[in-house]
């Protein structure tokens, strides 16, 4: 065994122990998130008991016989009829809007319950996958020769979207689940302080995310259309070919791109509708927007778990592509063979990296 391999073996053993610990933490986190769904248990946690609001006020003291004008009034209000008011604005005459109760049942019911189940199962699935498979190593090891993979623009756009997405995810999940989980821990005042900071961050950073996402879609879309490498990727997964002819992005990445694009635009449009209520939006429009926003966001969050896993510990040599712009030649050969052959034809293999990537010595590079 070449001498350069021995210290690497102990490093690998150490990193494997670290990652095993990480997987254990992920496992506990996954279980905690799963339990979260049950603890939420639908509308009874935060929502006011649905029956309570409908109770009729007692008839007026000393009123005898015939119709009670107050209950007629409240009956009309309960039906969502619009009354007259001096307050200016959209549907200000409507005191109670009936869809509100349905919206709350969906938000505190299926949305939070199934959302937390999906997140929990994804984390558990990834932790289990990692424990069984571990990090997918570069079979040939690193060659030390670099291939340019992402331009500066692509990387800046990607990390702007990624950082904004993570802040919006944390603040969004706090707004969705915080009431049930933070109040018992930090009390009402702690929760309301956290919720108001989260809401402010979410409302101000949301529009920035929309801009970054649209730009990222525009820049990455051309390499995310179906091609013959997609079939090759499936055949390679099934062990049916050693020459899959995979292009710049494989079918899994393209799937994530389109999910991030479609769910991302759904979250963006509904987010802007809720953020800028200056177009006469009715409560119904805002309720539907919030449910669609929640569904889109939870789908993106679950998908991003898989993407972040593959982009960090899942696949050796992947992270540096988006961090420095360069990947190792053997990584390119093994994961994107058709794209690598293109780079060879363009004379782009073994190029000296520009900027910060130049100073980074490659592990195992001769
Ligand atoms: C901490 C969070 C993230 C990490 C560590 C990460 C990591 C990576 C890495 C390593 C790649 C390069 C993969 C390759 O070379 O093929 C990549 C590509 C990409 N990432 Fe991320 N990413 C993160 C968050 C996000 C988010 C939040 C989005 C979108 C909402 C996103 C969208 C993309 C897209 C579109 C690509 C290009 C692949 C394609 O177009 O098919 N990433 N990411």
| DSSP structure string for 114-138 | HHHHHHHHHHHHHHHHHHHH--B--
- Can you give the pLDDT at residue 49? 47
In angstroms, rounded to a whole number, what is the distance separating the alpha carbons of residues 190 and 82?
38
Number of H helices, E strands in the chain: 11, 2
Ligand 1 geometric centre to CA of 194 (Å)? 29
Per-residue pLDDT, averaged over 17-30, amounts to: 68
pLDDT: is 313 or 22 the higher one?
313
In angstroms, rounded to a whole number, what is the distance separating the alpha carbons of residues 366 and 362?
9
Ligand 1 geometric centre to CA of 158 (Å)? 7
59 falls in which pLDDT band (50, 70, 90)?
low
Mutate to test the pocket of ligand 1, among 221, 223, 311 (most ligand atoms within 8 A of CB): 311
In angstroms, rounded to a whole number, what is the distance separating the alpha carbons of residues 288 and 217?
25
- Can you give the pLDDT at residue 142? 95
Q: Does domain 19-42+98-359 have CATH number 1.20.950.20?
A: yes
Tell me the pLDDT tens digit for each residue of 243-300. Answer: 899 999 999 999 999 999 999 999 999 999 999 998 889 999 999 999 999 999 999 9
Q: DSSP assignment of 320-342, as one string?
A: HHHHHSEEEHHHHHHH-HHHHHH
Tell me the pLDDT tens digit for each residue of 65-114. Answer: 566 777 888 888 888 888 888 888 888 888 888 888 899 999 999 999 99
Residue 264: burial class (beta carbons within 10 Å; 0-12, 13-18, 19+): buried
Q: Which residues pair with 244 in a beta bridge?
A: none
- Can you give the pLDDT at residue 366? 45
Q: Please tell me if the CB atom of residue 148 comes closer than 6 angstroms to any atom of ligand 1.
A: no
Q: Please tell me if the CB atom of residue 249 comes closer than 6 angstroms to any atom of ligand 1.
A: yes
CA angle, 228 then 232 then 234, to 5°: 120
pLDDT exceeds 60 at position 124 = yes
Per-residue pLDDT, averaged over 208-236, amounts to: 95
With pLDDT > 90 as the criterion, what percentage of the chain qualifies?
60
Q: Please tell me if the CB atom of residue 253 comes closer than 6 angstroms to any atom of ligand 1.
A: yes
User: Based on C-alpha coordinates, what's the Rg of the chain?
Assistant: 27
Q: Please tell me if the CB atom of residue 250 comes closer than 6 angstroms to any atom of ligand 1.
A: no
Tell me the pLDDT tens digit for each residue of 156-182. Answer: 999 999 999 999 999 999 999 988 888
- Can you give the pLDDT at residue 92? 86
- Can you give the pLDDT at residue 43? 44
Sign of CA dihedral 304, 309, 310, 316: positive
In angstroms, rounded to a whole number, what is the distance separating the alpha carbons of residues 351 and 357?
11
pLDDT: is 51 or 334 the higher one?
334
- Can you give the pLDDT at residue 18? 66
Do the beta carbons of residue 314 and residue 130 sit within 8 Å?
yes
Determine the 3-state secondary structure of 65 from DSSP: coil
- Can you give the pLDDT at residue 243? 86
pLDDT: is 34 or 263 the higher one?
263
Q: What is the mean pLDDT of the chain?
A: 85
Sign of CA dihedral 20, 21, 25, 27: positive
Domain ranges, ordered by start, for the chain: 19-42+98-359, 44-96
Tell me the pLDDT tens digit for each residue of 285-308. Answer: 999 999 999 999 999 999 999 999
In angstroms, rounded to a whole number, what is the distance separating the alpha carbons of residues 260 and 252?
12
In angstroms, rounded to a whole number, what is the distance separating the alpha carbons of residues 288 and 188?
28
pLDDT exceeds 80 at position 222 = yes
What does pTM read for this prediction? Answer: 0.78
Mutate to test the pocket of ligand 1, among 322, 326, 331, 343 (most ligand atoms within 8 A of CB): 322
In angstroms, rounded to a whole number, what is the distance separating the alpha carbons of residues 228 and 247?
9
């Amino acid at each position: 065994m070449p001498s350069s391999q021995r210290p690497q073996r102990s490093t690998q053993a150490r990193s494997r122990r670290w990652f095993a610990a990480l997987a254990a933490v992920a496992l506990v986190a996954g279980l905690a998130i799963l339990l979260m769904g049950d603890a939420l248990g639908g509308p009874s946690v935060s929502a006011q008991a649905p029956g309570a609001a409908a109770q009729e006020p007692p008839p007026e003291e000393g009123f005898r016989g015939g119709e009670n004008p107050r209950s007629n009034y409240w009956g009309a209000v309960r039906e969502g009829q619009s009354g007259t008011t001096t307050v200016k604005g959209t549907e200000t005459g409507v005191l109670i809007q009936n869809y509100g109760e349905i919206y709350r049942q969906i938000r505190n019911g299926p949305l939070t319950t199934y959302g937390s189940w999906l997140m929990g199962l994804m984390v558990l699935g990834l932790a289990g996958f990692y424990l069984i498979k571990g990090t997918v190593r570069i079979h040939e090891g690193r060659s030390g020769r670099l291939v340019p993979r992402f331009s500066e623009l692509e990387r800046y756009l990607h990390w702007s979207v990624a950082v904004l997405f993570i802040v919006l995810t944390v603040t969004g999940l706090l707004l969705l689940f915080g009431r049930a989980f933070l109040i018992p821990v930090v009390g009402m005042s702690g929760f309301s302080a956290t919720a108001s900071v989260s809401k402010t961050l979410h409302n101000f950073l949301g529009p920035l995310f929309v801009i970054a996402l649209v730009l990222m879609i525009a820049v990455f879309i051309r390499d995310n259309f179906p091609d013959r490498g997609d079939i090759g990727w499936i055949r390679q997964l099934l062990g049916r070919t050693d020459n899959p002819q995979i292009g710049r992005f494989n079918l899994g990445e393209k799937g994530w791109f389109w999910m991030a694009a479609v769910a991302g635009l759904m979250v963006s449009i509904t987010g802007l509708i809720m953020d800028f209520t200056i177009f006469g939006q009715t409560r119904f429009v805002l309720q539907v927007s919030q449910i669609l926003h929640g569904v889109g966001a939870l789908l993106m969050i679950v998908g991003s778990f898989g993407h972040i896993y593959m982009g960090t510990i899942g696949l050796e040599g992947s992270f540096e592509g988006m961090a420095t712009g360069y990947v190792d030649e053997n990584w390119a050969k093994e994961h994107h063979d058709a794209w690598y052959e293109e780079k060879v034809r363009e004379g782009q293999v073994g190029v000296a990296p520009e900027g910060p990537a130049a100073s980074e010595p490659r592990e195992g590079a001769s």
